[in-house]
């Protein structure tokens, strides 16, 4: 039975929405990258971004339900995605891509930090 929002710390909902927003932006960036076509590296980058966005959204939903292992996996994926997107920024990108990547990175880091706060860890601990 899923928890009611009153039982779940508000921080978890905030982290969830940060991650979902970032997931949508990352998947959209992946689709934009795929639409550019061209080199196999561009296609692989687009597919990786779409997969990362979809996976982050899935993990965010499971973490919101109180499953600690999915929250931990979400934090790991968020940090790996931030590293990957930082690499994309270093390789050069247009101004629109820089804005999307920058906002996505901030949202991913914020969500990860919120899920590592003490009230949230206690809530996850009480559920296991």
CA distance 59 to 77: 9
CA distance 15 to 70: 13
pLDDT tens sequence across 60-86: 999 999 899 999 999 999 999 999 999
CA atoms within a 13 Å half-sphere pointing along the CA-CB vector of 41: 2
Cβ burial 51-77 (10 Å sphere, 16+ → b, else e): ebbebbbebbbebbebbbebbebbbeb
Radius of gyration of the chain (CA): 16
pLDDT tens sequence across 17-49: 999 999 999 999 999 989 987 889 889 999 999
Could you give the percent of the chain with pLDDT greater than 90? Answer: 66
Res. 104 pLDDT band, cuts 50 70 90: very high
């Amino acid at each position: 039975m899923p928890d009611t929002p009153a039982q779940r710390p508000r921080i978890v909902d905030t982290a969830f929405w940060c991650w979902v927003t970032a997931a949508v932006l990352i998947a959209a960036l992946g689709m934009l990258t795929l639409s550019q076509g061209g080199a196999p590296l561009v296609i692989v980058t687009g597919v990786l971004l779409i997969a990362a966005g979809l996976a982050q959204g899935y993990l965010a939903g499971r973490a919101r339900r109180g499953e600690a292992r999915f929250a931990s996996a979400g934090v790991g994926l968020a940090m790996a995605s931030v590293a990957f997107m930082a690499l994309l920024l270093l390789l050069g990108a247009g101004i629109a891509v820089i804005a999307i990547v920058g906002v996505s990175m901030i949202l991913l880091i914020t969500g990860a930090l919120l899920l590592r706060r003490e009230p949230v860890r206690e809530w996850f601990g009480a559920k296991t």
